[in-house]
Amino acid sequence: MTTRYEAIHESPNGPGDSRPTALQIIQDEKLANKLTNKKILITGCSSGIGTETAKALFTTGATLYLTARDLSKAKEALGDIATSDRVHLLRLDLDSLASVRSCAKEFLSQAKELNIFIANAGVMAPPEGRTADGFETQFGTNHLAHFLLFNLLLPALLAASTPSFNSRALFLSSVGHRLGTVQFNNLHFKDNYDPWAAYGQSKTANLWTANHVDRLYGSKGLHAWAVHPGGIFSGLQRHLSPEAVAGIAEDPYLKTVMKTPEQGASTTVWAATAQALEGQGGKYLEDCHISKPFDVTSNHWAPGYGTWAYDVEGEAKLWEKSLELVGLKQ
C-alpha cells in the first residue's frame, strides 16, 4: 500500500515526532537480515541522511558500498558498521568526473551486480563556483556526477535484476526543484548566478533523470524514483548564513515539518525497499508516499511537485545533453 504513511505526515510536530524513521521502515517491511544476497551503493555517507540511510539498510543484511570524499570522516560517522566485512568504503569526489570514473571502476572490480543505487550526496546554495570539469557547482555535483556514476554502473544494475526483486535507482531531489527548471540556454549560470535557482535546476535535473531512467529501463527490470527527504538540519546548510539558518529554525511552519536525520532517511529507505513499490517507478516521492501536485494556495514549503516535474520532452533533452557533457555521447 503506497499510502501507508501518508496520514501520519499530515499533522507533523517537529523533529522526533511520530513520523517514521528509516529503521522503522525496515521493521515495518520485515526486512531485518532478509537482503543478505543484495548489494547497495549509497553516495554521501559521511554525514546526515546518507549515514542514517546506510545504518538502516545495514540491518537488512545487504552488502553496502558507501562513498564519501573524506573516508576518515565517513568511518567516524558510520560508527561500528564501518568495520563490518559487509561494508566497503569507496572514495568519491563528485566535483570531478575523473573521480566518478575511478569510483565506478573500483566498485566494478569488487562486484558485477548492483541491486540498489542511491544518489544521496549533494550541495546546496554555495557561492558561485565551477567543478574540476568546468560545470556550475550544483549542476555538476548534484546532477552530472551522479548521472555519470549511474550510467557507468548501469550494466551491474541490469544484471542484478530478477522478476521477484527488480533493481532500483534512487535520485535524491528536493522540494527545491520548484525553485527552478533546467536552463538549457545557460546551464552553468554564466554572468547571472543565482544560488537558489541553480539549486532548483539541479534538483529538477535529479527528478527528471529518475523519470527518464524508469522510462528507458523499467521494462528491463530497473525502476527509478526521485526522492525528497524533507527538511533536515545537516551539513547541507553549511553555505547558508547564520541568519538564514536561524530563519529556518524559527519559521512557524518549518518548525513543524523539519525532521531528524533518522526521519529524513525514511523516504529513501522506503523507496529502496518497499514491497508496495515493486515493479513501479518514474515518480516523485516524499513523506513515504507518491507525491501529489503542489497546491499553490498552500505554504511556500508545503509538499507537492512543481508544474514541470513530469516534462517528458525536457527529461529527454536533459538526458541527451548530459550524455554529451559527461563524455558518453556516441
Q: Which residues contact 246 (CB under 8 A, 6 or more apart)?
A: none
Active-site annotation holds for 38 = no
Calpha distance 148→128 (Å, rounded):
22
Active-site annotation holds for 105 = no
**Looking at 173, 202, 266, 322, which residue is catalytic?**
173
DSSP per residue, 104-163: HHHHHHH-S--SEEEE-----SPSS-B-TTS-BHHIIIIIIHHHHHHHHHHHHHHHH-BT
**Looking at 65, 199, 217, 284, which residue is catalytic?**
199
Q: Which three cell numbers stand for residue 240?
A: 547558508
Q: Which amino acid is at 131?
A: T
DSSP label at residue 21: P
CB atoms within 10 A of CB 115: 23
Give the closest residue to 34 by CA, choosing from 6, 57, 11.
57
Calpha distance 226→127 (Å, rounded):
26
DSSP label at residue 165: B
**Looking at 203, 217, 291, 322, which residue is catalytic?**
203
Active-site annotation holds for 202 = no
Calpha distance 274→289 (Å, rounded):
10
| E runs forming strands in 28-108 | 39-42, 63-68, 87-91
Q: Which residues are catalytic?
A: 173, 199, 203
